[in-house]
Amino acid sequence: MDKKEIKKILRQRLFLGYGKMKDNALDESEVRQRVSRIFEVIQRDEGVEIPSSEQEELAGELVNDLLGWGPLQKFADDPYVTEIMVNGPHKIYIEKSGRKTLADVQFDDENHLRYIVERMIRPTGRRVDESYPYVDFSLPDGSRVNVILPPLSVGGASITIRKFLKQIEKIEDLTEMGTLNNDMAVFLKACVKAKVNIVFSGATGVGKTTTLEVLSSYIDSSERIITIEDALELHLRQGHVVRLLTRGPNIEGRGEITTKELFINTLRMRPTRIILGEIRGAEALDFLQSLNSGHSGALAVIHASSPEDVINRLETMVLYSGTNLSEWIIRKQISHGLDLVVQQDQLVDGSRKITRISEVAEGEDRSMCRDLFVFEQEGFDPSGRVLGRFKPTGLKPKFMDKFFKRGVSFSEDIFKEA
């Protein structure tokens, strides 16, 4: 009898079938005791000798199945693993130190994988099944999860987990990691305190939300902060925070609550700050109108490959919202309401850096971006790591009066070009 067959018998006797376990009151010691008793029964009834080392290994796997994330648990516990990607039951990839590699573990089968998905999603109150085969949600530790099931995902269920990094709590942690330099950190902290309107842009997984969350810690605790998200990703440390969450449609296709609807309601809640988890649709118009009607200090995330693309995407989203505004009026709203774009990218060596901090200004016929800080790539070292430096462009932002009005001071030498 091989290990796989033994494990199957253990599951059948311990779990009584996937999805039927009453594990709320169990702890690790109780599970291990049950497993030990089942080992004794198997060895007696089947006439096989199971080495103690193999018993310990199997017991650990079953504990992870019943109380954790199954074969993914060791990556969840590893602080250096930043992303976990499951492509069906037999292929698990991880991202560690910016590099993606195939892991040495796998699920037993699709049922095993679906059971772990169910364990993850159960506490959130969301669902994923044949009638609603994809979902986004957050785990209790702040990790963000996307699940998509067959037949939309060919070859088995797909899980993507972006882990919440507990070791990143303040801007100095990002400077130590090389995400930005000290002058850029000083400027961004001052912008948050002075209630500058900022959009964080970049591709998926480059660290936009992490940077936003770190900078949000510099918002004064007396301010009323309202966040709007699709999944609970942000973990703000202030006490006066209201967290709003969108809702998907039910099985009849009703009851959906969109970001746009929540944003409109937010404006009636007397927010001091609005933090938008992601701008992706019709809410772009309401976002811009709020910036132009006295709401300052907004922070938001958008997927874009450059600050210029941020402006183009906002224009497109507003047009798709069904408004009759002209492109000239939309660009005016963008340039008058939005102050700063923080562009973050993942470089070819896996490192994540803020590559541009750009002011949104008004051009002759459109909104334009003026770079204040940039990352200049200079080459590679022998190990393949990107070499480069952060540098100011020599330009000062045109919203310097905002710092004066809010009593926020810093040395303007940070803008001097070396």
Q: Maximum CA pair distance of the chain?
A: 86
Is residue 202 scored above 80 in pLDDT?
Answer: yes
Contacts of 178 (CB under 8 A, 6+ apart): 351, 353
pLDDT-derived band at 304, boundaries 50, 70, 90: very high
Strand ranges (E), 3-75: none
Per the omega criterion (within 30 degrees of 0), is the bond before 397 cis?
A: no
274 forms beta bridges with 226
pLDDT at 318 over 50: yes
pLDDT in tens, 249-301: 777 778 888 889 999 999 889 999 999 999 988 899 999 999 998 889 999 99
What element of type H or E holds 182?
A: helix 182-193
SS3 130: coil
pLDDT digits (tens, 9 = 90+) for 234-263: 888 888 999 998 887 777 778 888 889 999
The CATH number of the domain covering residues in 69-164? 3.30.450.370
- For the chain, what's the residue count? 418
Average pLDDT of 70-96? 92
Read off the DSSP letter of residue 415. Answer: G
Query: What pLDDT, in 10s, does the model give residues 121-135?
Result: 988 878 888 888 988
State the alpha helices, DSSP H only, in 217-321. 259-266, 283-291, 307-320
Give bridge partners of residue 87 from the DSSP assignment. Answer: 158
Global confidence as pTM: 0.80
pLDDT band at 19 (very low <50, low <70, confident <90, very high): very low
pLDDT score for 20 = 45
At 174-187, the pLDDT tens digits run 999 999 999 999 99
- Superfamily designation of domain 171-415: P-loop containing nucleotide triphosphate hydrolases (3.40.50.300)
Report the phi/psi class of residue 142: left, alpha or beta, with left for phi > 0 and alpha for psi in -120 to 50: left
H/E element, 201: strand 198-202
Instruction: Please report, to the nearest 10 degrees, the dihedral formed by the alpha carbons of residues 367, 371, 372, 375 taken in order.
Output: 150
- The backbone torsions φ and ψ at residue 405, rounded to the nearest 5 degrees and listed phi first, read -65, -30
Please give the mean pLDDT across all residues of the chain.
87
Question: How many angstroms separate the CA atoms of 418 and 410, rounded?
Answer: 18
Closest CA to 295 of 317, 259, 266: 266
Please report which confidence band the pLDDT of residue 91 belongs to, taking 50, 70 and 90 as the band edges.
Answer: very high
Does the fold of domain 171-415 match that of domain 69-164? no
At 47-66, the pLDDT tens digits run 777 777 777 777 777 778 77
Q: Output the pLDDT for position 51.
A: 72
The percent of residues above 90 in pLDDT, for the chain, comes to: 50
- Name the residue ranges covered by the structural domains of the chain: 1-67, 69-164, 171-415
Distance CA 169, CA 142 (A): 13
